[in-house]
Structure 1
Amino acid sequence: MSLFEDLNTDPAETEVIRITADERAREAALRERFASFWKSASGEPRVIYDAFIAATPLATEVTLDAVEEDGVRGWWVRPTHAHPAQAILYIHGGGYGLGSARAYRGFVSQIVSRTQVPALAIDYPLAPEASLPAAPVAALTAWRWLVNQRCNQIAVVGDSAGGGLTLVTLAELGRRTVGPAPIAGVVFSPWADLAFTGASMTDSAVTDPLITHDYLQDCARKYLGNVGPTDPLASPLFGEFRGLPPLLIQVGTDERLLDDARQFAKRAAQAGVRVRCEVWEGMHHVFQLDVAHLESSRAALDRTARFLRGAFNA
């Protein structure tokens, strides 16, 4: 069975997923909560960001174990029962300058509980203290660590900047001829284009409640270092598509990164990649985090789990 058959659509096409009036009301209320949080937040930006992300509740029946060995730092998030050869490598977002594996444990647990596949959420060097290629090197190091743990079925999942780094990692792995190949990739609101060619970056009709064009430009400057914005290590939109595994991309209509997702999906499909792009109406950046508030968040993660289970069971 195709990994995409249970999603009931052509994998080369983009599906717009509509929401109900009640869900619109819940989304509006959540945006008020966002505005209140960011207005009242004070202190070090990384601490504030982690507090925002860590609000995603921890799923039941998962265990958390810190990892720090062989150049890999992060957290194992594991279900009670799991196949020992299967794993998810999770790469967090935060504009390449914020975020931590610890803060993302709750969100990753929501994926783990739905898939019953353990996930390694990793830390990678953040900008401006580190710039390219430090983050891709860390992701590949984590991949090798999982392989050394005898995981031979591995999917890579990430959000926002971590979604971009996920696509970079998959492209780098696709060029290899030894070792297990990634079985699938999932990206939530991926930042795939640090050259800012997408129209949604400056489209006045796009109302992004969380990130701005100026913020992303500042993040890009700090992360790129001496690397050009169209270098595939920075912007997977300009990289190699052949060799990529089946992909699921989810993005909201109300975010600056909308066209990053759509452009990447289009180019991947043209290159023959099995790619599925879901555009969720009225949803904000990485809305999947908000499982406590939105039916759309829970539904999107349920779809993600079906896709990933299909990949692991293929």
Structure 2
Amino acid sequence: MDQNSLAELRTFYASFGRMPIPDGTRVTETALGGVPALEVAVPQADDDSGVLLYLHGGGYLIGTARTGVPLTAALAARAGLRALSLDYRLAPEHQFPAAPDDALAAYRALLDDVDPARVVLAGDSAGGGLALATLLAARDAGLPLPAGLVAFSGWFDLTLSGASLTGKESVDPVFDASDIGEYADAYLPDGADSRNPLASPLLGDLRGLPPLLLQVGSHEVLLDDSTRLAARAAAADVEVTLETYPGSAHVFQHAHATEPTAARALDTAAAFLARHARLAG
């Protein structure tokens, strides 16, 4: 991807950070483990609430903590959680494994102050894949795991082996297979193994992970990333719920303010996060 195209994409995607957020939400700059983040405080949460760590989408190349705020705030308000949106490093300036390194550092720092049983993770697209990679990295580092994870249209496979990459091109209004390939090529340095579980967590050992909720639209080239992950998680004895929304496109939850299906999906995701974050309360 050339620099002009990337700059245009980043400028366009910045508009997602200007979407409406719930009344009374306060957004302040902070850091977790040396990684910049935004604290998203909603009136429905207090100091005793669980904590949501949100990882924004953007193919590991675009997006910021700010573009993640609208979905973070919508989930936090519905679930009554404190929340943080992480500003992990992006490619091509910072290629793999910079993003999972940042996410793990932030999660490790969060555990200094919060019971992991009160922590939940969520993310959309690449952020969903990064959230899952964070679970694998945390488990392998001997850290206690959070209470659950929600992924919207997660990108879990950088080997690009899902049949839907081409099978759903005709109905996906956002991406085609070549788009996804461009993002993968920019994110992975020369010689990197796309099968590395921190890049393609779909291919990792999923045993011992906390409950997962996967939401995906039937009209997206990444459909098979979620359907295959659900099957692999179930085979690894992980509690997993897969929700496929007919006719919906990539991260359709962004339209929750105007689309009933998107609002229903967010309500379901928030209820899942609230339930698991409060089990230890």
TM-score normalised over the length of structure 1:
0.82
Q: 2: CA distance between counterparts of 1:195 and 1:127?
A: 17
C-alpha displacement of 1:83: 4.0
Question: What amino acid is aligned across from residue 184 of structure 2 in structure 1?
Answer: A
* Cα distance, 1:79 vs structure 2: 2.1
- Structure 2 counterpart SS, 1:210: coil
Match of 2:113 in 1: 149
Ranked by relative contact order (alpha carbons within 8 Å, sequence separation 6 or more), the top structure is 1
Structural mapping, 1:199-214, within 5 Å: 199-203=163-167, 206-214=170-178
The Cα of 1:86 is off from its aligned counterpart by 2.0
Native 8 Å contact 1:85 1:151 kept in 2: no
Contact 1:97 1:128 (8 Å CA) reproduced: yes
Alignment of 1:131-142 (within 5 A): 131-142=95-106
- In the alignment, which of 253, 258, 270 is matched to residue 305 of structure 1? 270
Aligned position for 1:72: 35
Q: Pick from 40, 50, 70: which aligns with 1:86?
A: 50
In the alignment, what sits opposite 2:17? Answer: 54
* Among 106, 110, 117, the residue aligned to 2:70: 106
Q: How does 1:1-314 map to 2 (within 5 A)?
A: 44-51=8-15, 53-68=16-31, 70-80=33-43, 81-84=45-48, 86-152=50-116, 153-178=118-143, 180-203=144-167, 206-225=170-189, 226-314=191-279
Deviations 1:286-310 (A, max 9, x none): 0011112210110001001111111
How far is the alpha carbon of 1:74 from its aligned partner?
1.4
> How far did residue 125 of structure 1 move?
1.1
Structure number, greater radius of gyration: 1
* Amino acid aligned to 2:102: A
| Partner SS, residue 288 of structure 1 | helix
Q: Is the contact made by 2:136 and 2:198 (CA closer than 8 Å) also made in structure 1? A: no
Amino acid in structure 1 at the alignment position of 2:17: A
Q: In 2, Cα distance between the equivalents of 1:45 and 1:176?
A: 35
CA deviation profile, 1:161-210 (whole Å, cap 9, x unmatched) = 011111111112223434x4210000000001111111100015751111
* Residue type of the alignment partner of 1:258: L
Amino acid at match of 2:243: E
In structure 1, stretches of 5+ residues that fail to align are 1-40
- SS, match of residue 231 in structure 1: coil
Name the aligned partner's letter for residue 75 of structure 1: L
Counterpart residue identity of residue 27, structure 2: L
